[in-house]
Structure 1
């Protein structure tokens, strides 16, 4: 079993007390400079690593934050995570990450694990099939920030994009270009983002005096293959459409693949708009028109909000809604 170097080991070699070593390692002013240099040199040579866990127990803070994501391999969350990491380094915190694979039970287990680890706070991109776990955290008054989602009826810190506006901008763009029958490939409506983007879709249709038709909305999961299968389903169901608005860019990539296999020209025959503006959206053929979310800023601000809650600088729950932007490329 590996043995970690202790301050007792350093004290023995340096010929000083354990207390002197401790004070030198913590840069206390009452240790002679020559002694401090000697201790630091020995510590480095021995490969000493400070026991943060022990320090955390004494101070009752860990300076560690748990991050729970649906899927960190998703390019959207990868960019959000960059913002969280940047803010954590700036604030002097460490991160612990767990994925739920969009399974609520995994989310519950992740929260329990992080509470066992005594993290100072949590950032959660929730599954949203249930909200019991979030309600428990709020009841505990545990510092938590909900990322990219909104919970009705729960007073909790949240940061997400203006999803209604995003859905509206995407649909309006298609209608402005003369498209009369935009198909929406959406996610399940237990997700707040799907619900709000659909609301934006309906708002744009109403503005152009086009009656909402439920058959023009296909609901599915949020990966590439889901977009592909949803598009083929629309064609097999004889749904007539001249454009497509997808819940996210990943689904749009799948829809584009399906359209190409069917010999449909984009955007001549069918225009397509995605959502998120992940990095690959510029490189797909044709480059994807999409709604840009401030992904890095979302992550950065989520962490900043959490630290203010942890340190007691803010007591009341805050809902931070970030603006979105339509990015026009060749697909529409």
Structure 2
């Protein structure tokens, strides 16, 4: 096993006491600049690395947070994570990232693991398949923030986008383009994002005197969306509003396989405006969420709790906007 350099080794090299080394490494004011420089130079020469576990035991804080995502391979979460990282770096926190693959059992295990590791707090994008794990965190009075979804009648810290507006403006745009038979390729309706986007879709259609054309719930992922569009090929739809951009990119590929032209034969609107949305052909019309901002606000909300800056729950709803491109 590798032997790590200790403050005792630094004290021997610098010719000072262990207490002096501790004060120098922790930037205490009661030490002369010359002595501090001598200690820091000795630490550098020896290759000293702080023992965070020892600091955690002493300070009763790990300066580590846990992040629980449904699917860290989705570009949407990659961009959200940049915002969380920005906040963590700003306040000198480390991050442990857990991926649940949209499985509620994995979500429970992820939370358990993070608590066992004594992270100071958790940012979680829950599956919403059930809420017992969220209630458990609340009962423990464990600091956490919900990211990307909303729990009805909750007293939780949350940051999420205006999904009703997103569903509304996406559908309204398709209607303005002359589309009337708009298929909605949606996620599971137990998720607040899917419900609210659907309600926005319905509202826009109602304003044009139209009933909902057809909505299907599918498992999130490229293959599910591709297969569903192929399966529904005999439906007479003239547009697809997709739950997210991954669905939309899959739909583009499926329609190309079916010899359908976008946007000549059908229009497609996605959701999220991930980095790939403007690169596919045709470039994807989509609803933009400020993903970096969502992540950075999530960290700020958690930091406020960790710093005891407030006790009351806080919910932040981010605005969305339509980004017109070539697919609609």
TM-score, length-scaled by structure 1: 0.96
Verify the 8 A CA contact 1:157 1:317 in the aligned structure 2.
yes
Aligned to 2:103: 103
Give the superposition deviation at 1:201: 0.6
Aligned residue-pair number: 328
Counterpart Cα distance in 2 of 1:3 and 1:66: 29
Aligned to 1:265: 261
Counterpart Cα distance in 1 of 2:304 and 2:32: 37
Aligned to 1:284: 280
Aligned to 2:309: 313
Aligned to 2:231: 233
Aligned to 1:60: 60
Give the superposition deviation at 1:218: 1.5
Aligned to 1:17: 17
Counterpart Cα distance in 2 of 1:211 and 1:37: 74
Counterpart Cα distance in 2 of 1:170 and 1:270: 15
Partner-residue secondary structure (3-state), 1:272: strand
* 1:42 counterpart = 2:38: no
Partner-residue secondary structure (3-state), 2:232: helix
Q: Which moved more, 1:12-21 or 1:64-73?
A: 12-21
The residue correspondences of 1:56-135 to structure 2 (distance < 5 A) are 56-135=56-135
Aligned to 2:201: 201
Give the superposition deviation at 1:258: 1.0
Give the superposition deviation at 1:14: 2.2
Aligned to 2:30: 30
Q: Which moved more, 1:32-41 or 1:261-270?
A: 32-41
Q: Which moved more, 1:26-35 or 1:247-256?
A: 26-35
Aligned to 1:179: 179
Say which of 240, 245, 265 aligns to 2:241: 245
Counterpart Cα distance in 2 of 1:265 and 1:32: 74
Give the superposition deviation at 1:120: 1.1
Deviations 1:207-258 (A, max 9, x none): 1110224xx11211121112211111111xx321111101001011111111
Q: Any runs of at least 4 consecutive aligned residues in structure 1 with deviations exceeding 3 A, and if so which?
A: none
Counterpart Cα distance in 2 of 1:203 and 1:21: 67
Counterpart Cα distance in 2 of 1:173 and 1:22: 63
Give the superposition deviation at 1:116: 1.3
Aligned to 2:154: 154
Counterpart Cα distance in 2 of 1:17 and 1:326: 63
Aligned to 1:220: 218
Aligned to 2:326: 330
Say which of 288, 299, 302 aligns to 2:295: 299
Deviations 1:65-109 (A, max 9, x none): 111111111100000000110111112211111111111111111
Q: Which moved more, 1:226-235 or 1:78-87?
A: 226-235
Partner-residue secondary structure (3-state), 1:188: coil
Counterpart Cα distance in 2 of 1:13 and 1:279: 51
Give the superposition deviation at 1:203: 0.6
Give the superposition deviation at 1:15: 2.3
Counterpart Cα distance in 2 of 1:32 and 1:260: 72
Counterpart Cα distance in 2 of 1:308 and 1:105: 29
Verify the 8 A CA contact 1:138 1:155 in the aligned structure 2.
no
Verify the 8 A CA contact 1:274 1:290 in the aligned structure 2.
yes
Consecutive unaligned residues of structure 2, counting only runs of 5 or more, are none
Give the superposition deviation at 1:10: 1.2
Give the superposition deviation at 1:181: 0.5
Q: Which moved more, 1:46-55 or 1:240-249?
A: 46-55
Measured on the aligned residues, the alpha-carbon RMSD in Å equals 1.1
Verify the 8 A CA contact 1:135 1:154 in the aligned structure 2.
no
The residue correspondences of 1:161-176 to structure 2 (distance < 5 A) are 161-176=161-176
